[in-house]
């Protein structure tokens, strides 16, 4: 039994006439008759009752017509789905975001993907650190990642810088400098700092230390955390001050003040996919993330 046999029987079941069904299928009437007889031999039952004027379905024919319509419907849906996958309008895309991009870029890009590519299933992962994101991209956990590219280039990934973000200060709202529009980083030298993990776990840590060094000091007390949201919560709790990319302003948490820095240093935000990525859905989602990042920069 082949799909053409199912299509032929479904057409005959609707038309109840060999001539009209053959014309609809664009085949000769004897060829249609042979296909139906082949099905009857294969099943060992009579599917149609033939008269000179009309074809009637037997009980077996009625049941088989239901099966034929269901199978053909599934085939049509599968073909449509594969066409959408091929065009990048359907499929599964796993996306990982560093913590600071979780608050502004992730929700904006997700809304756009759902609007433009409603049949693409997004798997979203936020509040991650750049080294872990790249490891996940290489091993297939993620299809694309938004991360900090500092010194993390690998031959198996393609990287594009999305934007440069300036660092701003996060202060407890009762801090002496919290009401200022702008502060010199050196003014924060006496304060304890809350920072992302050190070493290879977070590139932001080294950026903050470099900014402090350029301002003429090194924090005398450092508390390390893994997530940006936790960092801001710790500042609100009065455990110290922090420097974060400006996008963290989207995390509108009570108890903190975001204050601009004079001559603020910047840090790059980038997007990466595996080299030679063939999925059109991944490429289309990446394009949306890029456009959202550009609009957020205006």
Domains of the chain listed by start with CATH number = 3-87 (1.10.10.10), 90-163+268-297 (3.40.190.10), 164-267 (3.40.190.10)
Average pLDDT of 87-93? 72
Return the exposure string of 164-202: e unless at least 16 CB atoms fall within 10 Å of the residue's CB, then b. Answer: ebebbbbbbeebebbeeeebebebbeebebbbbeeeeeb
Average pLDDT of 63-82? 78
Residue 183 backbone phi and psi in degrees, to 5: -130, 155
Say what the pLDDT of residue 88 is. Answer: 63
Contact 161, 242 (CB under 8 A): no
pTM for the full predicted model? 0.69
Return the exposure string of 104-118: e unless at least 16 CB atoms fall within 10 Å of the residue's CB, then b. Answer: bbbebbbebbeeebe
**Residue indicated by tokens 């890009």:** 109
Indicate whether 195 pLDDT > 70.
yes
Contact 281, 117 (CB under 8 A): yes
Length of the chain: 298
Say what the pLDDT of residue 298 is. Answer: 46
Indicate whether 297 pLDDT > 60.
no
**Residue indicated by tokens 């034929």:** 68
Identify the residue with better confidence: 185 or 119.
185
Indicate whether 170 pLDDT > 80.
yes
Average pLDDT of 156-181? 94
Say what the pLDDT of residue 90 is. Answer: 64
Return the exposure string of 57-85: e unless at least 16 CB atoms fall within 10 Å of the residue's CB, then b. Answer: beeebeebbeebeeeeeeeeeeeeeeebb
Say what the pLDDT of residue 277 is. Answer: 85
pLDDT band of 14, cuts 50, 70, 90: confident
Indicate whether 89 pLDDT > 70.
no
35-49, 83-97, 208-222: least confidently modelled range: 83-97
């Amino acid at each position: 039994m082949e799909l053409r046999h199912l299509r032929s029987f479904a057409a005959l079941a609707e038309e109840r006439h060999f001539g009209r069904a053959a014309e609809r299928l664009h085949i000769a009437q004897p060829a249609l008759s042979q296909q139906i007889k082949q099905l009857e031999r294969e099943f060992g039952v009579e599917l149609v009752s033939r008269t000179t004027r009309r074809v009637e379905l037997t009980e077996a024919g009625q049941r088989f017509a239901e099966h034929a319509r269901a199978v053909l419907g599934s085939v049509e849906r599968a073909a449509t789905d594969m066409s959408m996958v091929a065009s990048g309008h359907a499929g599964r895309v796993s996306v990982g975001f560093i913590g600071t991009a979780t608050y502004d870029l992730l929700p904006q890009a997700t809304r756009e993907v759902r609007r433009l590519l409603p049949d693409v299933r997004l798997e979203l992962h936020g509040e991650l650190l750049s080294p872990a994101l790249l490891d996940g991209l290489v091993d297939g956990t993620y299809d694309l990642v938004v991360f900090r590219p500092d010194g993390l280039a690998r031959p198996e990934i393609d990287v594009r810088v999305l934007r440069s973000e300036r660092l701003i200060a996060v202060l407890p709202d009762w801090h002496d400098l919290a009401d200022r529009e702008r502060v010199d980083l050196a003014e924060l030298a006496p304060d304890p700092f809350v920072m992302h993990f050190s070493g290879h776990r977070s590139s932001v840590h080294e950026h903050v230390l470099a900014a402090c060094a350029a301002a003429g000091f090194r924090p005398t007390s450092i508390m390390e955390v893994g997530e940006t949201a936790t960092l801001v919560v710790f500042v609100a709790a009065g455990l110290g001050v922090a420097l974060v990319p400006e996008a963290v302003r989207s995390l509108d948490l009570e108890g903190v003040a975001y204050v601009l820095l004079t001559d603020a240093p910047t840090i790059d935000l980038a997007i990466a996919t595996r080299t030679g990525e063939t999925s059109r859905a991944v490429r289309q989602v990446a394009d949306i993330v890029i456009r959202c990042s550009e609009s957020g920069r205006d």
